[in-house]
Amino acid sequence: MLGAKREWILIAGILLFMIGLLGAGLPLIYSVLIAVAIYIGIKAYVGRKNLKIRQEIPEGICAHCGAKITEGKCPNCDDIK
Ligand SMILES: [Zn+2]
């Protein structure tokens, strides 16, 4: 999931792109349709990527070093204890 702040950055970026399309002389309806299509495309891409990460790393990653958690332990941090 995108954080709320990243969501707004994404929306702002797409709005700027839409304004650019309008500036290039594209009619408003097409600019809006392209902007919405890009937004949906990015949301779908991010959703699929997150799903793939969850499937590949079902137990998540270590909050300290970012390594993949296996059998409930971090291979880097928990072995040191
Ligand atoms: Zn770790």
Give pLDDT tens digits for 51-71: 887 887 778 888 889 888 888
Ligand 1 centroid to Cα of residue 50, in Å, is 20
Ligand 1 centroid to Cα of residue 73, in Å, is 8
Q: What is the pLDDT of residue 56?
A: 78
* pLDDT tens string 2-34: 568 888 999 999 999 999 999 999 999 999 999
Question: Which DSSP symbol is given to 80?
Answer: T
**79 band by pLDDT with thresholds 50, 70 and 90:** low
User: Could you tell me the residue range of the domain that residue 46 belongs to?
Assistant: 1-81
CA–CA gap between residue 77 and residue 37 (Å, rounded): 43
Ligand 1 centroid to Cα of residue 54, in Å, is 18
What residues sit around ligand 1, an ion, with C-beta below 5 angstroms?
Answer: 62, 64-65, 67, 74, 76-77
- If one counts the domains in the chain, the total is 1
